[in-house]
Structure 1
């Protein structure tokens, strides 16, 4: 079959969701796998761009499309980009339901659904049709196509569904709704989104062009999923047909497991092999620094290598190994929750691959202290990455008998302790690392008899409030200078497992302790114990608590 024509262009969101494009998600595509964090991060980025660079274009990602044989209706199969496309399908519906202006509502509705017009012989149809096996069509009709569907309280029930796509879609819409509900300038934001946010799309009418298309796109510098190209290259090296099916199934299973994070997992693999900061995109890194340098052979060896580290990831990062202590599990839990990146994961996986459980918790503690210390001390991301790569290199050269030397290497795991102490002893509330330090305190104050879990919501709360009433006990116990000094220091901060309640924040300590913290801080046991043990919250209490916490955080 001859190759078809390949077209590439960029289109703003309103054009992508117009009569020029009708999308089909084919049955071989995976479920909607975006999590709450994916959605909130995307929306955060969009809001930031709107508020700070409202005149600039905003790149949403790329779409790889196959034109359908019957192209009377400009219909396309989505080969790549369905997760993001589905997210905007839902976001348009959420904005439709939150906006008040009927013209805005009708415009947005027309972008996701075409109403039947018998006189003009126009059929009803939705912008995206899903042929995937998750039976999402009924959900879409009820909650996306129906006006005010995204405001339905039934969405909370759908978020608990066993159906992966439906649960994730419900959570996504609830997240969008919460983030946009209070925006005063939602109309302007919608205008920015429709007119400044754009996709790059590439289309072909030949299915056999798909893998070639990925390669062409990569050469043109469009950031597509690297896993598809690596899969094609590695499976192509296997000659036996039965083995092709076997290893293709293994690859697809891994890809399904990691979802949108599969490229991240491949980047971990690259880091462990190369032990240097990536200077090019993932595909170029594999080709130039992995395959050409003989660090790994393309084909079955690569896929077996991925399987090996997938097992390790499951055991020590997803905590599936039953022999892991609660001390280990709890430290991993807070690291995954609070650290700014996952550059610490490759050294940990590499260590476990070589030394298994031997002194694993000791290594993890050293690794965490190094990574956290460099982050708190404002070392650049490049510096932190290079520090992790040095640890990888030392692990590679270390034998079992020299393990103690690795763990006692002060140059390898050392940080600027004076600067670190200065920063954690100062105001941490407005610092990025403040929440993580409080998680670390929770971990250090626990006895590890249980595995920390259940952190669905985490907020940082002031005990001494930011704006106490002038006739309150706070004003009696603290001078203005003392209040200014202690307000944002770690001694005055606690973690709560719910959103902050401004109506309760200014209560005097005794009432706050009884009505708020005592009832709601159960997930953060260490903080709760300290507060329960104190009948007052004064400068002297804070001074003692500050000293205790800082000393605790300084211990390696």
Structure 2
């Protein structure tokens, strides 16, 4: 930021809503999001401070602007919620004060044009393009606000609904006050209410300033900034159309998932692990390859966003076969990482991909992902592998041939089998996934795993009582060998109980492994209930059977 001039000062609201500033909320900002709870809290605080009769300054916080010196134009990097809510309150106050106060408040909401100054009639605050016409018509204009309480809000977007609800809240609360209190509140806001205004001439500096000032982090995401750049590069007549497309995808996914999507899109294009900021990499890896911004939205953002929604919500739809596809997506979403998502959305976004092809691809993708999970492949090697899968998808190569990166080679299959035959319970991050996949294989896909709590439990306890039957059935060496292996593990739809874990076999089956109806929702546990004894020979036989089931499920033989 060397050479960048930064200005910071405490300014009363009377100075802020004046000809010194003309605020604009840029496209990259999120919509107006304050609810009646936050607006009501601000109103109560201001009213209490104004009623105290004090002349001490009341601070509302800070705002960060991109603003050149001696130029009123100010782009709001942070402070949209406060500035907008203050405008709502000033607009509402006009309805409950005398003519002189109302005229003064009008001048805080609207700038009156002055031919000598070269200014025109315009609002002090301009919201995002989608909200400003509504804001102007129903709130900033006095005749509009008079009809606001009868305005239907059911079909409005959240931002406009918040504008209405908060303004109506102010109108209702002010309507309960004597006119003298409304005058006192208006004067207090104008003279004694302060904001700390931080301004600099370029966005990058303002962004960095705010990350220092605000420990909670910037409300903006990389998608907000990219939106401003991408939409801003589209010709003016088409900007509204493409803004609507962008915001439709963002609303469908939600703000957090939409931000995550851009990391996955970067991977689809770059096919390598990110080494720099998402903004820099997205520009260099994605936007450089799709310089036509309309084409980027139509051919990249929209189809990959739609595929991402299907993939993360397991919401594939088709006339037939959709259930099998969604089952595979649910399994993938249970993994402890999301590195598999880029190849999934790349494949599902391809045109004319039939349901069987999607299912076949996801079966192989889950197999690869599960093997890497079990082998504890690190993130760098996972991303490198998925990058090769993305290359194969893009090249329309044979994804199921012996050389395909989607398939496991002989060494990978052998290593996966070896680890499954080991002390799998001790690998915390994989044991539940493996047991659930195993149970599903044994149930031929008929089991349900939507229980609120599922845990992995030992049959042979880790620390059996000295006089228990377990000490008769197992030597210490046998117990140490078998206790954490696949054959000795089962599933419970309940929280673990350390005391119950040490029960003898018969009591454990009756009290701990069954539900109130005397059954278990899991095939693995039902198999345990069918046994009369739990011995090393049984575990040896069971281990082979369970490994065979997993080998069949993931084609590891």
Q: TM-score when scaled to structure 2?
A: 0.59
**Aligned-residue CA RMSD in angstroms?**
3.7
The alpha-carbon deviation at position 455 of structure 1 amounts to: 4.0
User: CA distance change for structure 1 residues 255 and 539 in 2, over 3 Å: closer, same or farther?
Assistant: same
The alpha-carbon deviation at position 483 of structure 1 amounts to: 1.0
CA–CA separation in structure 1 for the residues paired with 2:455 and 2:230 = 45
List gaps (5 residues or longer) in structure 2.
9-29, 36-55, 65-75, 80-157, 159-195
CA–CA separation in structure 2 for the residues paired with 1:216 and 1:448 = 54
List gaps (5 residues or longer) in structure 1.
8-25, 32-69, 83-163, 165-202, 400-404
Contact 2:63 2:197 in 1 (8 A): no
Contact 1:459 1:498 in 2 (8 A): yes
CA–CA separation in structure 1 for the residues paired with 2:548 and 2:77 = 51
CA–CA separation in structure 1 for the residues paired with 2:339 and 2:245 = 26
CA–CA separation in structure 2 for the residues paired with 1:286 and 1:542 = 52
Which of 236, 239, 245 is 1:244 aligned to?
Answer: 239
Deviations 1:45-80 (CA, angstroms, capped at 9, x unpaired)? xxxxxxxxxxxxxxxxxxxxxxxxx97325247999
User: CA distance change for structure 1 residues 463 and 213 in 2, over 3 Å: closer, same or farther?
Assistant: same
Deviations 1:291-348 (CA, angstroms, capped at 9, x unpaired)? 22x24533563365222122222334422223344443333223212x2211111112
1:306 and 2:301 equivalent? yes
Contact 2:267 2:273 in 1 (8 A): yes
Which of 528, 537, 540 is 2:534 aligned to?
Answer: 537
CA–CA separation in structure 2 for the residues paired with 1:356 and 1:214 = 45
The alpha-carbon deviation at position 546 of structure 1 amounts to: 1.1
Q: Which residue in the other structure is 1:75 paired with?
A: 61
Contact 1:4 1:204 in 2 (8 A): no
CA–CA separation in structure 1 for the residues paired with 2:291 and 2:208 = 21
The alpha-carbon deviation at position 272 of structure 1 amounts to: 1.4
Which of 406, 416, 436 is 2:399 aligned to?
Answer: 406
Q: Which residue in the other structure is 2:491 paired with?
A: 495
Which of 485, 502, 505 is 1:506 aligned to?
Answer: 502
Deviations 1:229-285 (CA, angstroms, capped at 9, x unpaired)? 1111112123335x4344334433433433323322111111112223222211111
CA–CA separation in structure 1 for the residues paired with 2:7 and 2:546 = 61
Contact 2:454 2:491 in 1 (8 A): yes
1:474 and 2:470 equivalent? yes
1:213 and 2:217 equivalent? no
Q: Which residue in the other structure is 1:343 paired with?
A: 339
CA–CA separation in structure 1 for the residues paired with 2:287 and 2:393 = 22
Contact 1:428 1:488 in 2 (8 A): yes
User: CA distance change for structure 1 residues 28 and 77 in 2, over 3 Å: closer, same or farther?
Assistant: farther
Deviations 1:24-43 (CA, angstroms, capped at 9, x unpaired)? xx981389xxxxxxxxxxxx
Q: TM-score when scaled to structure 1?
A: 0.59
User: CA distance change for structure 1 residues 447 and 325 in 2, over 3 Å: closer, same or farther?
Assistant: farther
Contact 1:276 1:389 in 2 (8 A): yes
Considering only CA atoms, is the larger Rg found in Structure 1 or Structure 2? 2
1:384 and 2:393 equivalent? no
Contact 1:334 1:439 in 2 (8 A): no
Which of 433, 451, 456 is 1:460 aligned to?
Answer: 456
User: CA distance change for structure 1 residues 77 and 218 in 2, over 3 Å: closer, same or farther?
Assistant: closer
Q: Which residue in the other structure is 2:326 paired with?
A: 329
Choose 384-393 or 257-266, whichever is displaced more: 257-266
User: CA distance change for structure 1 residues 541 and 281 in 2, over 3 Å: closer, same or farther?
Assistant: same
CA–CA separation in structure 2 for the residues paired with 1:384 and 1:277 = 9
Q: Which residue in the other structure is 2:437 paired with?
A: 440
Contact 1:255 1:262 in 2 (8 A): yes
1:29 and 2:33 equivalent? yes
CA–CA separation in structure 1 for the residues paired with 2:464 and 2:344 = 46
User: CA distance change for structure 1 residues 536 and 80 in 2, over 3 Å: closer, same or farther?
Assistant: farther
Matches within 5 A, 1:348-387: 348-354=344-350, 355-387=353-385
CA–CA separation in structure 2 for the residues paired with 1:386 and 1:280 = 17
Moved over 6 A (4+): 77-82, 206-212, 215-219, 520-523
Count of residues in correspondence between the two structures: 370
